[in-house]
Structure 1
Amino acid sequence: MDDGGIQQLPPYPQHPPKPVGDLAAKLIENGMGGVDRPTLERRIEQVGYFRLKGYWYPFLTPTPDRPAKRVLPFRKGTLFQDIWDRYVFDQELRVLVFDGIITIEIYLKSFLAHELSLFGGEFGYMTRAGLPGLGYDAHLACLASLRTTFMKSNIPYIRHFRDTYDNPLPPYWMIVGCLSYGTLKETFYRGAPNSIKRKLATSLHVFNPNPNPDVRGDIKILSNWLETIRQARNMTAHHDRFWNESSTRIAPRLPKHRSGSHATDWWGNDWDDFRRSTGPAAFLTMENYLLTQIDGPSWKRKFIDLMHRYPQIPAPDMGFPDDWESLALWRP
């Protein structure tokens, strides 16, 4: 700390760049087996030394004073193929996660465009009354954002609307087509009345304990899930390592456990195995849950097939219990 109470951080230590051949030789000399130097050089050039390091890190030697911290050399018996399998698995997993998010995103756009147009008319978002969840400044920012997106879009039907009509913006069912997930979430979902948000939650079987069908959709859980989906969407789009992600940014809020007579048919108790889970397992289970409501079991089958094709990937490192396929949320 300095005199002002501001923490002084050290500078990043110097790491002079090295030729790819030297990097490959260093790894092999430190116990990375099952690979020759030319092959390892190609993989480093293909992926990058720093990115690949995230996949070989668990194979390094734990330090005595900080077991979670690992350093060279590699543990005895470490094979490059095991490291590469994790990289390829993670790549396939990200593609599958993103594919599922696309289905969810399209569903949200369709649902919100339809319900909001019924609520306030096809151009309802032009007034605050059409998006009652937005304050005055937020609504002005919403219109400015939509106008910018609309004017930049090259989608054929958007271009046709601009060239044909004098309206400043198109109806809901057109404008949603050119919105990013984040913009959709921060404008139309955030601005929607609670009645529409509850209806959306109910359509996705996201419930609270209230038996009244008019208020049973759980907005708090749904809003949290939509935000974790945004985080995961960014991760997968930017190729971040996903398979053993341990931060809370994609950890979904789970429905509370209920006991006694209240536990009968309560969907929240199915999530008990994921309450202390680390890794992406809870997110993947949440994604599967939503996709099952939208599109049936097709995504689930793809995910289970992926896991079966990579039995060497430790499911517990992803936050799954050993018997995860037998759990109610994953059974066929």
Structure 2
Amino acid sequence: MDENDTPQLRPYPQHPPKSLDDLSAKLIDNGLSGISRELLERRIEQVGYFRLKGYWYPFLTPVSEQSAKRSLPFRQDVQFKDIWDRYLFDQELRMLVFDGIVTIEIYLKSFLAHELSVFGGEFGYMTREGLPGLSYDDHLACLSSLRSTFTKSNLPYLRHFRSTYSDPLPPYWMIVGCLSYGTLKENFYQGAPDHIKRKLATKLHIFNPNPNPAVRGDAKILSNWLETIRQARNMTAHHDRFWNETSTRIAPKLPKHRSGSHAKGWWGNDWDIFRKSSGPAAFLTMENYLTSQIDGPAWTEKFISLMDRYPQIPKSDMGFPDGWRVSPLWRVNGSAH
């Protein structure tokens, strides 16, 4: 097919809506066991048939030995509990992922508000010189976005600022409180001068091979990681299935491997076991790495506890290789969980 040709799409096949009773009967008639029709109806009503399908799909019968596609009936001896456990695990995992992102996001707001105000003054974002990483048009868009967000915010300290001071916008340390993660990243992080980005990377122990401490922070990897965090934040906020997500949108860029005399002490080699993994494992490891720099082992311990409470979840489907728990990236104070 020529690249300019429009692909031939077919209309969505008709699927007349079925009652909850019909849907539950269909699943049980196709081999789902361990649940009554009445309870299955309630679960379908609670979650949605199509949403729940994402969790039972791996339990369906393969269409062929060569194909990854599956269809009804269920494989032999599939219990509804197996499906529901994955759903509950995914719910808890998403909440924990978001919990870690909150820790990172608050740290970013604190760091950028302080560093940018030291660099350009408390209202430095009002001029392009204060955010040199933004183009002229991007800076205008930034100010428009900040004005809109500030005006609509009901945060008590911003309401007080609007009713007390004549300034059109508040200082950095106030306005960051009402910014979304995306707005913070696109405007204040992207607009920050390179030395502030490198300092942030260094604080978070994201290094490049250059031994010069002034440029050792790897802002390229940091920028990539902040974008994957944005993607994961959106996924968790919209309740997307996360535990076995395989798209590259949450796949963080990993530091390069080094060999020979350069390998000693190089943090990038700790990531080697995740270089070929798919699924959210690399993201979760990156999130663990960042939260550990900010808040010590608190998030790590909650994650390990979650994994221990669901031993039936296939960790390989998440992208975790054998031995991941004893890897340097998941050790706490030198001990493996």
**Fold equivalence (TM over 0.5):** yes
1:119 alignment partner in structure 2: 119
CA offsets per residue over residues 134-175 of structure 1, 9 Å max, x none? 000000000000000000000000000000001010000000
Supply the distance in 2 between the matched residues of 1:81 and 1:172 (Cα, whole angstroms): 50
Distance 2:145 2:3 in 1: 44
Amino acid at match of 1:96: L
Superposition TM-score, scaled by structure 1 size: 0.99
Q: Which amino acid aligns with 2:251?
A: A
Give the equivalent residue in structure 2 for 1:193. 193
User: Does structure 1 residue 292 correspond to structure 2 residue 289?
Assistant: no
CA distance in 2, matches of 1:189, 1:205: 17
**Counterpart for residue 230 of structure 1:** 230
SS in 1 for 2:330: coil
Instruction: Report the counterpart of residue 164 of structure 1 in structure 2.
Output: 164
Deviation at 1:4, TM superposition (A): 6.7
Give the Å deviation of 1:35.
0.7
Task: Give per-residue Cα distances to partners, 1:59-84, cap 9 Å, x unaligned.
Answer: 00011165210000000011000000
Measure, in 2, the Cα distance between the counterparts of 1:246 and 1:231.
13
The aligned residue for residue 55 of structure 2 is 55
Report if aligned partners of 1:62, 1:71 keep a CA contact under 8 Å in 2: yes
CA contact 1:201–1:217 (8 Å) conserved in 2? yes
Matched, 1:150 2:150: yes
In structure 2, the residue matched to 1:81 is 81
**What is the identity, as a one-letter code, of the residue corresponding to 1:87?**
Y
Partner of 2:261: 261
Query: Residue in 1 aligned with 2:313?
Result: 313
The amino acid that maps onto 1:252 is P
* Unaligned 5+ runs, structure 2: 333-337
Q: Which amino acid aligns with 1:325?
A: R
Give the aligned length. 332
Amino acid aligned to 2:84 = W
Cα RMSD for the two superposed structures: 1.2
Partner of 2:21, secondary structure, is: helix
Cα 1:124/1:314, change in 2 over 3 Å: same
Distance 1:322 1:209 in 2: 28
User: What residue number does 1:218 align with?
Assistant: 218
For 1:193, give the aligned amino acid.
Answer: P
Deviations 1:181-238 (A, max 9, x none): 0000000000000000000000000000000000000010000000000000000000
**Identity, % of aligned pairs?**
78
Q: Residues 23-65 of structure 1, C-alpha deviation per residue, up to 9 Å, x if partnerless? A: 0000000011111100100000000000000000000001116
| Unmatched 5+ stretches in structure 1 | none
**TM-superposed deviation, 1:11:** 1.0
1:116–1:3: structure 2 CA closer, same or farther, 3 Å change rule? Answer: closer
1:90-129 matches, within 5 Å, as: 90-129=90-129
Per the alignment, residue 326 of structure 1 pairs with 326
